[in-house]
Structures are given as structure tokens and as C-alpha cells.
Amino acid sequence: MAETIRSVRGINDVLPDENPAWARLERVASETFATYGYDRIRTPIMEHTPLFERGVGEATDIVEKEMYTFTDRSGDSLTLRPEGTAGVVRAGVEHGLFHNATQRFWYSGPMFRHERPQKGRYRQFHQFGVEAFGQAGPDVDIEQIAMSARLFARLGITGLELQLNTLGTPEERTAYRQALQTYFSTHRDRLDSDSLDRLDRNPLRILDSKNPDLADLIADAPTLDMHLSEASRNHFDTVCAGLTALGIDYRLNPRLVRGLDYYTRTVFEWVTTDLGSQDAVCSGGRFDGLVGRLGGHSTPATGFALGSERLIQLMEAQGVPGDDVAPHAYVIAADTIPSAEVTRIAEWLRDVLPSLRLRANAGGGSFKSQFKRADRCGARLALILGEAEVEAGRIGIKPLTDAREQTTVELADAPQQVTAWLDELALD
């Protein structure tokens, strides 16, 4: 017997019984983004490595430790995308989408990071993201946070906390970096190896440390607000006031710095206490310098990303139901009925009822075994084609979710009757 091949560690299958939650998330997310005027963009899962080195930042954990990078047969260094924003910006610059125009995009798909696999954190994971380009004012920051809040409400997710901060401009952050370096350098003996590594290259990342031994040291560190210009303060104050006007509660978190170098000014996270240590379910903010960094003209931008697996785990933890993706009906046929005739009737029903999820039996079997298959797939109705029914141009309809008796109707009336039965069963 050949050796069994298993999935790569940290890269998981999504099995059919998990599909209802995924279907709900995908449907609600795409509908919500459309209501705000965002167009879908699809970018490759593989890009040239320098895109992420320049875009995400060479001193980030993602670039230094987590990317899946390899050299192809042409000698090019390629990387499986660890996040979505850099690829969207690359596509916009390459195709001239930002020239004298504002753009609003959303995307979804798999991302890849070589991390230690654990619940809520995988090496292949899926994200939804939105990005807006060409809008410098705080109104789009407010709108995107409101859009994320609306998405959670439509999904039925509750109990999230919005954390908010500003990182100022790159110049303001440079002054803040120097203040942090001075502060943490005086406490070098207390820093762990990761923090020591970040001290010279990216001291803001020390603020994001999860080491409990550093909590009090981080709590006493300087804050960015003393380095903010009046323009940055006004931008952030307007964001806060706009959220208050919309009734969106938030908590200011001066230690929220995000793990990517391209963020400027507004940053935010939605967090939960229902998933243990993996508490962030949505993260985003403004990244006004990224388009210029990747070869385009300076373009203001803001966006956010949501982790699909983490959101689905949160939906499950809170008992949020998934979409019903089971077949509405299952066609059961006597083995004496030609398969071509069964297929013809099934295809006719699909033509007349385009939204009907219909599964037709395949592979023969007794009526009893076919009914078992219909039950196992979750169908609500059995549509029965016996010899007598086919000869008379009729079809049997039997509810599978209760003990009501089978009825037989003219085949021409079947679409109306099936619709009526499904409506009635949905109300029960």
C-alpha cells in the first residue's frame, strides 16, 4: 500500500460541512462592500519578492521570518503573498488606475505566512480586504470603520471592541522612533531577544510585544501624541468625532502600532475576548506613502483586512448560523426509468427554477437507499419518478423534514408546487 499523503502542516482543507459558515461570510462581505461602492479586484497569489520587501518593510517579522520565498527556473525570486495590500497597489500602479482618479477595491483569497500553526493562525489563511485610493481626508477612514462595523452586524457577530490609534506622518514617526530608542536603550537589560532585535531597526514593534514581562516597561514608554503636528491631531480628532456621531464606540490604544511599515495616521483593530490569545479579527488604517514607495505618484490610501478563518471561528463560538447550502430537493427515480429521462426532467426543473438547488440521484439503487441519500445530503423534498408517474406525466413530492404524506402532481405544475412546499417548510 502506498504511503498516505497528508496536507502540509498549517495548511488546512475546508470540508463540505464547514461550507455554510464560509458561504455566509463570503455572501455578506461581498454584499456589504458593494453597498459602499467598492469594486472587486483579483490579484495573483505570487509576486516578485521585492514588492513585499519594499511594501511591507524589510524589518518586519513578515519579511524577515514568515514569507514563503523561492527562486524559480528563470532565477527570479518569487513570494507567495503574505498580505493583500501590496499586490493591490502594484496592480494599480502597473495599470495606471490611480492617475487622476479615486478608486475603491475589495479582494479576497488565500495568504501565506510561515508561522507556528495554532488555532486561528495558519500558514495558509484567507482574507477579505478593502482599499480606497485618492482620498486624503478623515471621512474615508470613518466610512471604512463604519463599513466594518456594518459587516459584523450583518454577520450577527457581537461583543467586538474597536481599538483606535494614530501613527502620525512618517516624519512624526521618525521623531517618535528616536524617543523610543532612547527610552528602551536605558532598559536594554530588560528587553528580550526579539525586542533587542527591533530596538535599532523598528522600535515601534516593541510596543506590540506579547511578552508579559515587558508589560510595565511598555506601559511607561513615551507616546506618539507629543510628536504629532496640528494637522495629524485634527485628522485623528475628526475620525474620533465621526465615530462618536455614528454611535460607534471605541477605545484609544496608544500601543496599537500594527505590524506593517506602510501605515500612517489612523490605525484600528476590532478585537474579541471569545477566541483566546488570537483576539484581533479585523485590522487596518491609512497608508498614504505606499503607492509612492512602490513606484507610483504619491496617493493617499486607507484600508483594512479581515481574517476569514478567525471570523468563522468567532461565528461558531457565538452560535451564528451559516447559510443553508444543502439541496432543496433530491430526484429519486425507479431503476426502470432511463437515466436520460431523469436528467431531462432535472434539467427542465433547473431551467424553470434557476435558484433551485437540485440533486438528482446517480448510480441507481432501491427507493429505500435513494431516500437515505436524500436525507444524508440534507434535502427538504424528494421528487419521485416512478414508472406510473412517468407514464402519466406526473411526479411525486415528499417532504423529508417531517412526516407529511407524499403528493403527486402534474409535471407541468411541479415548479409551482415545489416552490410552495419549500416556502411552507421554511416557515415551519
Give pLDDT, residue 193: 85
**Residue 427: per-residue pLDDT:** 65
Whether residue 261 is predicted with pLDDT greater than 80 in this model: the reply is no
**19-23, 207-211, 213-217, 218-222: segment of lowest average pLDDT:** 207-211
Does 366 have pLDDT greater than 70? yes
Which of 8-17, 174-183, 241-250 has the highest average model confidence (pLDDT)? Answer: 241-250
Note the pLDDT of residue 264. Answer: 87
pLDDT of residue 424: 87
Which pLDDT score is estimated for 270? 97
pLDDT tens digits along 390-416? 999 999 999 998 888 899 999 999 999
Whole-number pLDDT of residue 259: 58
Summarize pLDDT for 7-44 with one digit per residue, the tens: 999 999 999 999 999 999 999 999 999 999 999 999 99
- pLDDT confidence tier of residue 176, bands split at 50, 70 and 90: confident
pLDDT at 428: 61
285-343 per-position pLDDT tens digit: 999 989 999 999 999 999 999 999 999 999 999 999 999 999 999 999 999 999 999 99
Under the banding of pLDDT at 50, 70 and 90, the label for residue 2 is: confident
Q: What is the pTM of this model?
A: 0.88
Predicted confidence at residue 98, as pLDDT, reads 95
| Confidence (pLDDT) at 260 | 61
Least trusted range by pLDDT, from 67-76, 91-100, 397-406: 397-406
Proportion of the chain above pLDDT 70, given as a percent:
98
Q: Domain extents for the chain? A: 16-169+229-317, 329-427
Q: What is the pLDDT of residue 291?
A: 94
**Per-residue pLDDT band at 251 (split at 50, 70, 90):** very high
**What is the mean pLDDT of the segment spanning 35-54?**
96
pLDDT of residue 83: 95
Residue 4: pLDDT over 70? yes
CATH architecture, domain defined by 16-169+229-317: 2-Layer Sandwich (3.30)
Record: fold of 329-427: Rossmann fold (3.40.50)
Q: Looking at residues 409-428, what average pLDDT do you find?
A: 89
Angle at 303 (CA atoms; ends 298, 305), nearest 5 degrees? 140
Whole-number pLDDT of residue 56: 87
Mean pLDDT computed over 58-72: 88
Task: Please state, in angstroms and rounded to a whole number, the distance separating the CA atoms of residues 58 and 109.
Answer: 24
- The pLDDT assigned to 278 comes to 64
